[in-house]
């Protein structure tokens, strides 16, 4: 009874949200965030509809740019294993969609619809889905229920359940138990497995397969990264990746203080959200630093990088970590939960994080315990950590080696995921053939 009420209330709320988004997307003067929701109403162009109906499909959903980058090795192996299938990739953001459309593994890229029955059915209608995979914590009850009703094998890959979700487990369980009933959950850790069980997943369908982020391998650097390398010359670069509002100010203050007596430093500042670029550029100028945008590096002479470079392009952050000497990973000095620490660790760079790393708690603790990362709590402690490493190059290099070794030791998740997916699909085909 409680479960039916929870599902009904959720679907009613999402249906109302979809109706509001449909109306708002058509009205002049509507805020941009509401107009953007109009792209998440399950509509396909004629060309997309023809492509969707042309062949059986395997679908991967990754909410963010980071999750999509982490899942690409799995997508690549799925495309190799199921060669004649259409590979569909969906995201939640326009920046993620831009990356998905440039991803060679994807035949079709789109935005996931709002989780209302009408929008979900509209989008799924033309597809002949053989499998649907979704990353980390992207549990959408209406979508998952519709996939189950259609008999589509569904997989949570690189699954993660944060402590914040567990604080609301009592209220989420009636909704999530219904959504997860037919989902094979491939979890990052044993703790994640126990948490997804507490949310109502079927114990027979829960396995620990590891984090796909450990298996990510950077491709050859694009030409613009090589231009950045040339612009740096002999300068040492500190990379502050995925920063949020309130964090940029602390990073800039720490950089100002460590710059004293170390004139060979450059800071690469990479805001998490592109819409904040103009505001962050204003902060840099207000702090009195010479600034160049990453997209303008072609205009710089070799070795002429300014004090601060603003990363205004989606995609190259992982390559930029490899050009730096130290990495600070944002979303951690402010209460966001932290972002991907494996990209700088894979590049062999010491990693600095703030106190808020709930989204990657297990990985961060492994890096800290292994001598590959340091936790800071403020701009003041960030100054001390940066200055200490910059003045001890041997220690800095040792932390980088430890970071890379820890990442290499966690690899193998892609093949574990692939075995689970392939086994389930084989069982499904057998059941259909004999049913």
Q: How far apart are CA 155 and CA 177, in angstroms?
A: 15
Q: What is the 3-state secondary structure (H, E, C) of the chain?
A: CHHHHHHHHHHHHHHHHHHHHHHHCCCCCCCHHHHHHHHHCCCCCHHHHHHHCCCEEEEEECCCHHHHHHHHHHHHHHHHHCCCCEEEEEECCHHHHHHHHCCCCCCEEEECCCCCHHHHHHHHCCCEEEEEEEECCCCCHHHHHHHHHCCCCEEEEEECCCHHHHHCHHHHHHHHHHHHCCEEEEECCHHHHHHHHHCCCCHHHEEECCCHHHHCCCCCCCHHHHHHHHHHCCCEEEEEEEECCCHHHHHHHHHHHHHCCCCCEEEEEEECCHHHHHHHHHHHHHCCCCEEEHHHHHHCCCCCCCCEEECCCCCCHHHHHHHCCEEEECCCCCCCCCCCCHHHHHCCCCEEECCCCHHHHHHHHHHHHCCCEEECCCHHHHHHHHHHHHCCHHHHHHHHHHHHHHHHHCCCHHHHHHHHHHHHHHHHHHHHHHC
- Catalytic residue status for 67: yes
The catalytic residue among 3, 48, 67, 380 is: 67
Give the active site residues: 67
């Amino acid at each position: 009874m409680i479960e039916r009420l929870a599902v009904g209330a959720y679907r009613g709320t999402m249906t109302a949200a979809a109706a509001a988004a449909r109306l708002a997307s058509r009205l002049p003067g509507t805020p941009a965030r509401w107009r953007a929701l109009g792209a998440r109403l399950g509509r396909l162009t004629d060309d997309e509809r023809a492509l969707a109906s042309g062949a059986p499909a395997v679908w991967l959903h990754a909410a963010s740019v980071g999750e999509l980058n982490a899942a690409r090795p799995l997508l690549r192996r799925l495309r190799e294993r199921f060669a004649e299938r259409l590979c569909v990739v969906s995201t939640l953001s326009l920046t993620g969609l831009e990356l998905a459309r440039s991803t060679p593994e994807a035949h079709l890229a789109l935005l996931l619809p709002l989780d209302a029955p009408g929008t979900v059915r509209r989008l799924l209608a033309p597809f002949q889905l053989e499998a649907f995979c979704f990353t980390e914590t992207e549990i959408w009850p209406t979508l998952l229920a519709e996939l189950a009703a259609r008999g589509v094998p569904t997989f949570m890959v690189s699954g993660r359940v944060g402590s914040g979700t567990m604080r609301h487990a009592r209220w989420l369980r009636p909704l999530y138990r219904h959504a997860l009933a037919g989902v094979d959950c491939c979890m990052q850790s044993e703790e994640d497995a126990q948490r997804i069980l507490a949310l109502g997943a079927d114990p027979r369908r829960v396995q620990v397969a590891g984090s796909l982020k450990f298996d990510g391998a950077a491709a050859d650097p694009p030409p613009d990264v090589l231009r950045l390398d040339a612009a740096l010359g002999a300068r040492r670069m500190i990379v502050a990746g995925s920063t949020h509002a309130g964090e940029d100010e602390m990073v800039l203050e720490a950089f100002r203080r460590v710059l004293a007596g170390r004139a060979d430093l450059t800071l690469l500042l990479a805001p998490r959200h592109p819409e904040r670029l103009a505001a962050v550029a204003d902060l840099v100028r207000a702090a009195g630093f010479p600034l160049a945008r990453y997209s303008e590096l072609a205009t710089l002479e070799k070795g002429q990088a300014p004090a601060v470079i603003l990363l205004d392009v989606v995609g190259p952050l992982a390559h930029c970590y490899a050009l730096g000497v130290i990495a600070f990973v944002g979303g951690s000095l402010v209460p966001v939960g932290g972002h991907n620490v494996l990209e700088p660790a894979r590049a062999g760079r010491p990693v600095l994080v703030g106190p808020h790393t709930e989204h990657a708690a297990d990985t961060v603790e492994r890096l800290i315990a292994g001598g590959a990362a340091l936790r800071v709590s403020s701009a003041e402690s960030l100054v001390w950590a940066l200055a200490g490493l910059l003045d001890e190059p041997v220690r800095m290099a040792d932390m980088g080696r430890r970071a890379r070794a820890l990442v290499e030791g966690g690899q193998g998740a892609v093949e574990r995921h692939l075995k689970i997916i392939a086994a389930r699909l084989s069982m499904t085909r057998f059941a259909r053939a004999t049913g």
